[in-house]
Structure 1
Amino acid sequence: MSGITLRFKAPATERITLAGITPSKLAALSSHETANLNVGIEKGGIALGDAFDISGSSGDTLTIEGGTPAIDFVGGGLDSGTIRVVGDVGAFAARSMSGGKLEIRGNAGDFLASGATGGFIQVSGNAGDNIGGVATGDRFGLLGGTVWVGGNIGARAGDKMRRGTIVVRGKTGTGAGSRMIGGTIWAEGGFGAEPGLMMRRGTLIGPSVESLLPTFVDCGKHDLVIVRVIARYLKSTLGDLAPKPMPLFVQKIGGDTATIGRGEILLPAA
């Protein structure tokens, strides 16, 4: 599998944006054009070749070595192929991603997968606030695809999320699923305080919740086929990364009744 490798040269003196730096885009450029791409955000900018040592040839894989939180929008606009990051990334990774795979072997900043419509995003470490959340000027947050995080995530995960799936091995921060319209968040480590604020639809699945809003109601113990369907789907798509299935019976917590209240938090039944 051929591809280009970017090796970060030195500690960043300014923030770098890699929006649109994807395997398909680089495949259409010469080595000279690639090196001269502007990836700076300050006046004057900075060329890709000044920030990174560039090696390899165009293909379906882009590898970024020495990633740091100063690099934003990694995987932004990715539509096919694979971007692999060895290290951390900053904010807005996988912004408006529509296909392919983004693999981050480190931590991710805020607004991971904001506006994404497809593809697979895998983060081995932690992720910041608003994973799959709505960004300024957008109508919705995550619109499709699958996000997997091996650690914990910050506050307001899935804010105004419409479709797609977020799987977290660790715990969420405060307000997961706020203003959620659809999709699924499965937190194997449980949910932080007050998930689902103004949630309209969607599903939150996990073993526990730190505290619930008073506008959520206990709907009793249920044997829900959809929970097993989701678990089987995740097993078929994620393999060993898939969360462990929930027990046969789950406790359904409905809300947010401050709005239409068709969302649900599913916990193991006592």
Structure 2
Amino acid sequence: MKPFTFTLRQEPPQRVDLSALTPDRLAGKSVAQIEAIELGVTRISTKVGDLFRVSEGDLKTVRFEGGSSRFDLLGAKLLPGFVIHVEGDVGAQCGRLAKGGRITVAGSAGPHAASGNLGAEIEIKGDVGDFLAGPLAGELAGMAGGRVIVRGKAGERVGDRLRRGILVIEGDAGEDLGARVIAGTILVLGEAKGRIGYLNKRCSIVLARGGCFGSTYVDCGAHDLTFARFFARSLRDHSASAADLLSRKLRRYGGDTAVYGKGEILTPD
């Protein structure tokens, strides 16, 4: 059955809040009611019908034909069992507080993607902005579950205060990767720039090309890690390159000893 589809008519004249366009919030509404939903974030009115042509379909899958860097909060609080696909770019906070389901973005995403994600699978085929999976100002923890795959590069502060879940960056990552992480797993297949794993408490950070993580990490030697090989199997269908990295012999650095020291950075031996 064809998906419920929003086809972009024109570039939004302002940033728009798409949090209302998730399957559970659309259920029971007619096309006319959906077209009347207000999306604008300023005093200037911008409704669904102004931006999109709406085509009815199976609400288990919502598809956006056309994207924009002004599409904020796409898939926010998405529930398990539903799918959202965007054929284009999205803006800030994609997948914010998503409880489950799957979000795929054919283009790039703005800052704070997967912020507060609780269980959704999110795939971004382009690049992603700063604070991937990181908290908003005033929040004590970032992403708390789920899996995020970024096929391109990521901005600064990837995984800031990550509490749980898996982040895979197939391209490069910006400054302060894994800063203040609480737990979870981060894999970077490209270059990780600048300081890495600052105040890491219990997170596993896996780097294909190594990086700068300072004297507060202790070299624990090279290991054939059985758990890493089992983990690689679960990632094989989502990122073959990440699975290959985990299947290799890895050198472990324990830290950050400036805090608990129970985290680790793993690099190819």
TM-score category of the 2 structures, normalised to the smaller one: over 0.9
* Residues 131, 158 of structure 2: 8 Å contact kept: yes
1:196 counterpart residue number:
197
Give the CA deviation at 1:241.
7.3
Q: In 2, Cα distance between the equivalents of 1:248 and 1:8?
A: 45
Give per-residue Cα distances to partners, 1:103-125, cap 9 Å, x unaligned: 10000111110001012101111
Give per-residue Cα distances to partners, 1:27-85, cap 9 Å, x unaligned: 22122221111111002532111121111235211111220101111111111311110
2:231 counterpart residue number:
230
2:188 counterpart residue number:
187
Give the letter aligned to residue 205 of structure 1.
Answer: V
1:261 counterpart residue number:
261
RMSD of the alignment, in Å? 1.7
1:73 counterpart residue number:
73
Alignment TM-score, normalising by the size of structure 2: 0.94
* Residues 8, 53 of structure 2: 8 Å contact kept: yes
Structure 2: runs of 5 or more not aligned: none
Runs ≥4 residues deviating over 6 A? none
Aligned residues: 268
* Residues 245, 268 of structure 2: 8 Å contact kept: no
Give the CA deviation at 1:213.
2.5
Give the CA deviation at 1:240.
5.0
* Secondary structure in structure 2 of the residue aligned to 1:7: strand
* Residues 14, 40 of structure 1: 8 Å contact kept: yes
1:221 counterpart residue number:
222
1:8 counterpart residue number:
8
* Residues 180, 201 of structure 2: 8 Å contact kept: yes
> How is 1:80-91 mapped onto 2 (pairs within 5 angstroms)?
80-91=81-92
Give the letter aligned to residue 106 of structure 2.
Answer: R
Q: In 2, Cα distance between the equivalents of 1:55 and 1:225?
A: 49
Q: In 2, Cα distance between the equivalents of 1:143 and 1:122?
A: 17
1:170 counterpart residue number:
171
Structure 2 CA distance for partners of 1:34 and 1:58, relative to 1, 3 Å: farther
Q: In 2, Cα distance between the equivalents of 1:181 and 1:117?
A: 15
Q: In 2, Cα distance between the equivalents of 1:254 and 1:240?
A: 26
Structure 2 CA distance for partners of 1:178 and 1:24, relative to 1, 3 Å: same
* Residues 27, 58 of structure 1: 8 Å contact kept: no
Q: In 2, Cα distance between the equivalents of 1:185 and 1:156?
A: 12
* Secondary structure in structure 1 of the residue aligned to 2:145: strand
Q: In 2, Cα distance between the equivalents of 1:101 and 1:120?
A: 5
* Residues 231, 246 of structure 2: 8 Å contact kept: no
Q: In 2, Cα distance between the equivalents of 1:63 and 1:167?
A: 24
Q: Using the TM superposition, name which of 65-74 and 201-210 deviates more.
A: 201-210
Give the CA deviation at 1:17.
1.0
1:117 counterpart residue number:
118
Q: In 2, Cα distance between the equivalents of 1:171 and 1:51?
A: 34
Give the letter aligned to residue 16 of structure 2.
Answer: I
Structure 2 CA distance for partners of 1:240 and 1:25, relative to 1, 3 Å: farther
Structure 2 CA distance for partners of 1:194 and 1:134, relative to 1, 3 Å: same
1:37 counterpart residue number:
37
Q: In 2, Cα distance between the equivalents of 1:11 and 1:18?
A: 14
Structure 2 CA distance for partners of 1:15 and 1:172, relative to 1, 3 Å: same
Q: In 2, Cα distance between the equivalents of 1:220 and 1:241?
A: 23
* Residues 90, 110 of structure 1: 8 Å contact kept: yes
Q: In 2, Cα distance between the equivalents of 1:117 and 1:70?
A: 24
Give the CA deviation at 1:229.
2.1
- Percent identity between the two aligned chains: 35
Structure 2 CA distance for partners of 1:208 and 1:240, relative to 1, 3 Å: closer
Give the CA deviation at 1:3.
2.5
* Secondary structure in structure 1 of the residue aligned to 2:220: strand
1:212 counterpart residue number:
213
Give the CA deviation at 1:248.
4.2
* Residues 151, 170 of structure 2: 8 Å contact kept: yes
